Chain A
């Protein structure tokens, strides 16, 4: 229980202003001096000096207003983003559930996407095959599993995504809000699954705007405000302080 699995040490993340470049090579060359200057100087800071640790088997809730930097934090843990400052140490295999539909291809069927997703997260084909029926059953997608996922609703996409990570025996599970689009019954099923994971000692990091869910599942919470750590501690305290910040 005491070994840290995720360690953030004075992590900062800032983005250069890319919009000039995505305008194309032609624009970039014609406006070379200004383009280079904005590239060098204009930076948008989305996380500043963030330090925290997540212990093995712990469930950490991450809360904060829109644009505070929650998804950025998860992206850093998943390794798809790279910090500009500080250290990010992750000592378990990550099972990320980031954006809706991330890791899926829209032209493949639900079933094919299960394989794509599972293999991308580091499983072999054989390992995914063992779990295939379980995943499909959990998702309750029925006939739709053989349809290309471009015909799925967002709730169905979320079902598929959660089912894949839930059935592949995750070690470190990252969930970014995506459950919010599921119907009540599925949300309950997911929460139950997450509680079961907690019993088994799976480490989880859970971003949500639903304080109920956070309180139910998490032991501790991390509140990010204005791209900085505002408070970290027992879930009750942090959630209460966060709720109060809206009233004052």
Chain B
């Protein structure tokens, strides 16, 4: 017994799969409830915010580029919305993430649970908000005389998974590192803003000058956002873009977990 290295976690009960799964669901649900309350004071407000925010941006860009600068594009409002909603999910998750462990210091210092659940619930929550906002996109499609196609049944789940693992991987990495370098939070906010302008969200990728065309796939968000928009606007799924964004997603997930595993055991020391 004494020869065992390191720490032995107790709990036969917890290793049965079914109670364990039940437990994980309970843990995620209580943490989500807590987050919603802390972030938005109520779950309804959180949802409304996730719709109002991209709509407000869409409005501003519409005025700036359609009304004032007269961009030559059919259905620019729908185009904006189809890109802004998925972007909003990504940006929300990533900007909140740096402080997630700091905000939960009191829990982390008390018990030894899988801390990666904390960023997980953040990304999950924003994903749920995004899913709930898809009807708004559909509404705009009807305004522009378009209808959703059957391909959504495949496309949406696949893209959800890809974006989830990408956001979760990035969130894990940033939240872990931020504990040790507390100014990462500000750098993240800056990074997300820069990324927004380098991602074809309020302009189509076809408008990018030819000599920069090869560069667009260096931005991990580009293939993902283009995929979402093609799905919503044209009922299309492009295998190449899917593959590239899945690749990015897996790489980020790997990096995120690697960094988290390296640092997780020190969390309680620096909080």
Contacts and interface: CB of A to CB of B under 8 A. Distances in A.
Interface of A: 7, 9, 15, 18, 21-22, 24-26, 28, 75, 78-82, 87-94, 96, 98-99, 101-108, 112, 115-117, 119-122, 124-125
Interface string B241-270: 000000000000000000000000110111
B234 to A, nearest CB: 42
B2 interface: yes
A91 B31 CA distance: 27
A112 B2 CA distance: 40
B113 interface: yes
Interface stretch (B80-88, B103-111, B149-157): B103-111
Contacts of A120: 27, 107, 110-111, 113
Given A25-B181, A82-B7, A92-B10, A119 B30 contact: yes
Nearest to A26: B183
Given A78-B112, A79-B7, A98-B109, A107 B38 contact: yes
Interface of B: 1-2, 4-11, 14, 19, 22-23, 26-27, 29-31, 33-34, 37-38, 104, 106-113, 180-184, 187, 265-266, 268-270
B20 to A, nearest CB: 10
B110 A125 contact: no
27 contacts: A18-B269, A21-B180, A25-B181, A25-B183, A25-B184, A28-B181, A75-B109, A78-B110, A78-B111, A78-B112, A79-B7, A81-B269, A82-B265, A87-B2, A87-B4, A89-B1, A96-B111, A103-B106, A103-B111, A112-B37, A116-B107, A119-B30, A122-B14, A122-B113, A124-B23, A124-B26, A125-B29
B26 A91 contact: no
B60 to A, nearest CB: 32
B111 A22 contact: no
